[in-house]
Amino acid sequence: MTDTAQRTDVLVHRSYLKADPEQVWAALTRSELTRRYGYAGAIDIDLRPGGSYRGYASEAMVGSGVDIVIVEGEITAVEPLRRLAMTWRMTADPAMAAEGPTRLTYEIGQDERGITTLTVTHDLTGAPQTAALVSGSVPGTGGGWAFVLSDLKSLLETGSGVAG
């Protein structure tokens, strides 16, 4: 008997932040902030459905031979201060680029106590190499989403990230 069911890989991370939704939204959508946490790369983002998204390598990454554009995608949904959804394809690695786009969603809310929440859902179905990278299980590549979101939280709550 052959199993024809397709495996679904979805990573979900939720962070609780001492920051208002406007600060979280800005940190996700403005290059002057994306350069200060995670992998410290700039972004270009056209915040409308059908708009493009590009994530750029930091200066340190470019110096080690990584291509300038490392992630690209297309915006699929925008609700300012609440939700941003896009396709997301790692272009810096040919094998990951060949896997095709994955789906990434950021949701900003507040819990019953009024604490801001950021939920990141990354549907990695059909992209096992990308899944390994963003889960933080590829040695020498950082810590994936857990690292990026921890650094984002530190930046918004203290003014400096854990990596900087």
The pLDDT of residue 48? 98
The pLDDT of residue 163? 65
- Residue 3 is assigned to a structural domain of this protein: no
The pLDDT of residue 106? 98
The pLDDT of residue 92? 86
User: Biggest alpha carbon distance in the chain?
Assistant: 57
DSSP track, 64-111: TT--SEEEEEEEEEEETTTEEEEEEEE-SSHHHHHT--EEEEEEEEE-
- Residue 108 is assigned to a structural domain of this protein: yes
Kindly report the length of the chain. Answer: 164
Q: Which domain holds residue 65?
A: 11-157
The pLDDT of residue 156? 97
pLDDT in tens, the chain (164 residues): 344 444 559 999 999 999 999 999 999 999 999 999 998 899 999 999 999 999 998 877 776 655 589 999 999 999 999 999 999 999 988 999 999 999 999 999 998 999 999 999 999 999 999 999 999 887 777 789 999 999 999 999 999 877 65
At position 67, the amino acid (one-letter code) is D
- Residue 29 is assigned to a structural domain of this protein: yes
The pLDDT of residue 1? 39
Other Cβ atoms closer than 10 A to 128: 14
- Residue 5 is assigned to a structural domain of this protein: no
Per the structure, the count of domains in the chain is: 1
- Residue 123 is assigned to a structural domain of this protein: yes
How large is the angle between the packed helices 144-158 and 21-29, nearest 10 degrees?
A: 130
The CATH code of the domain that includes 150 is 3.30.530.20
